[in-house]
Amino acid sequence: MAVIMDGKALSEKLKNNLKNEVEGLKNKGKNPCLAVIIVGDNPASKIYVNNKKKSCEALGIKSLEYALPADTTEEKLLTLISSLNEDESVDGILCQLPLPSHICEKNVINSISPEKDVDAFHPENVGHIMIGDYTFLPCTPAGVMEILKEYDIDVSGKNCVVVGRSNIVGKPMTMLLLKENATVTVCHSRTQNLCEFTKKADVLVSAVGKPNLITADMIKENAVVIDVAINRLESGKLCGDVDFEAVKEKASYITPVPGGVGPMTIATLMKNTVTAAKKKV
């Protein structure tokens, strides 16, 4: 029976520490500020933005929200980002993805100042992550590493398998595991015989977005299983990529969905915002 890794409790612990840092910054005359832009009416995006806003309020971070209609032009969005780049009071800028199809995500990501890119999506920040010399880390992979650290799971020399190769999770997750001296295999939609790879994993990280993709027969005994995905079933229930009930009987450690990686993503975003603010003091 696996130890269930409590990301919610850990995120509260980290946010309490950040709250003290925010107070210290305010005493020095600096109030950390995060600007969040959302374009359109994507229900999931609205939930994420609302959660980020609540976390900012809880920590004393100033939160600016720019809710733009779905027909907003790319030019107008880029103009807003440019003004936020120039605003000295704004420390972090986040543009919620996905964007409407008529707006180029690449152009938007590239337009955010690397010093305010608290999502760590800008090519300059991605490059820093590649060479292990970074200011910001992508929020979800960084959250996963914090969970592993909290439960004293050393990945050095271990076989780690990352399922998913997205720019947001899969690729940076691979780089962070490599930095900690893991041997990393990346699997994706073109991987043949996925279970041949997952069965060899000491640590398995799944970030695909497909319910019950990872079943108990696909993991080795006592593996550490990190489920990054959040899927909503027709019943309304949230689940990840992992068949949680079956896999927890075989794994040594496992993250639940919800309550695992998700809360850590927001905690890391808050950490990145505070880091950006500290550079201005």
Is 120 among the domain residues?
Answer: no
Decide if 87 is catalytic: no
Q: What is the number of alpha carbons within 13 Å of residue 183 lying toward its C-beta?
A: 7
Q: Is the pLDDT of residue 7 over 90?
A: yes
Report how many domains make up the chain. 2
Domain endpoint, select from 95, 113, 131? 113
Q: Which of 6, 119, 227, 241 is catalytic?
A: 119
Are the CB atoms for 181 and 156 separated by under 8 Å?
yes
Find the catalytic residue in 6, 15, 52, 227. Answer: 52
How far CA 104 is from CA of 45, 65, 75, 82, in Å, comes to 17, 21, 10, 16
Distances (CA, A) of 162 to 2, 113, 141: 20, 29, 11
Residue 192 a catalytic site member: no
Within 60-100, residue ranges assigned H as helices are: 74-86
pLDDT(221) > 90: yes
Q: How many other β-carbons are positioned within 10 Å of the β-carbon of residue 226?
A: 29
Q: Are residues 97 and 149 in the same domain?
A: no
Query: Is 155 within 8 Å of 181 (Cβ atoms)?
Result: yes
What is the pLDDT, as a whole number, of residue 232? 87
pTM recorded for the entire structure = 0.95
What is the span of the domain harbouring residue 149?
Answer: 139-262
How many residues appear in the chain? 281
- The HSE-up count of residue 60 (CA atoms within 13 Å, CB side) is 17
Position 49 in a domain? yes
249 within some domain = yes
The answer on pLDDT for 236 being more than 90 is no
pLDDT of the residue at 108: 98
Please check whether residue 19 lies inside any domain of the structure. no
pLDDT digits (tens, 9 = 90+) for 51-76: 999 999 999 999 999 999 999 999 99
Mean local confidence (pLDDT), 4-9: 98
% of the chain exceeding 90 in pLDDT? 93
Give the residue from 98, 113, 128 where a domain finishes: 113
List pLDDT tens digits, range 167-188: 999 999 999 999 999 999 999 9
Q: Is 154 designated active site?
A: no
Residue type, 193: N
State the pLDDT at residue 48: 85
Question: Per-residue pLDDT for 142 more than 90?
Answer: yes
Around 255, how many Cα atoms within 13 Å sit in the side-chain half-sphere? 34
pLDDT (0 to 100) of residue 40: 95
Q: Which of 6, 15, 96, 171 is catalytic?
A: 96
Structural domain contains residue 12: no
Residues 144, 254 share a domain? yes
Residue 261 clears pLDDT 90, i.e. is over it? yes
Q: What element of type H or E holds 48?
A: helix 43-59
Please state, in angstroms and rounded to a whole number, the distance separating the CA atoms of residues 152 and 28. 35
User: Which whole number is the average pLDDT over 192-212?
Assistant: 97
Residues 105 and 170 in one domain: no
**257 and 148 fall within a common domain:** yes
Residues 215 and 161 in one domain: yes
Q: What is the pLDDT of residues 104-137, one digit of tens each?
A: 999 999 999 999 999 999 999 999 999 999 999 9
Burial environment of residue 189 by CB neighbours within 10 A (0 to 12, 13 to 18, 19 or more)? exposed
Query: Mean of the pLDDT values across residues 70-92?
Result: 98
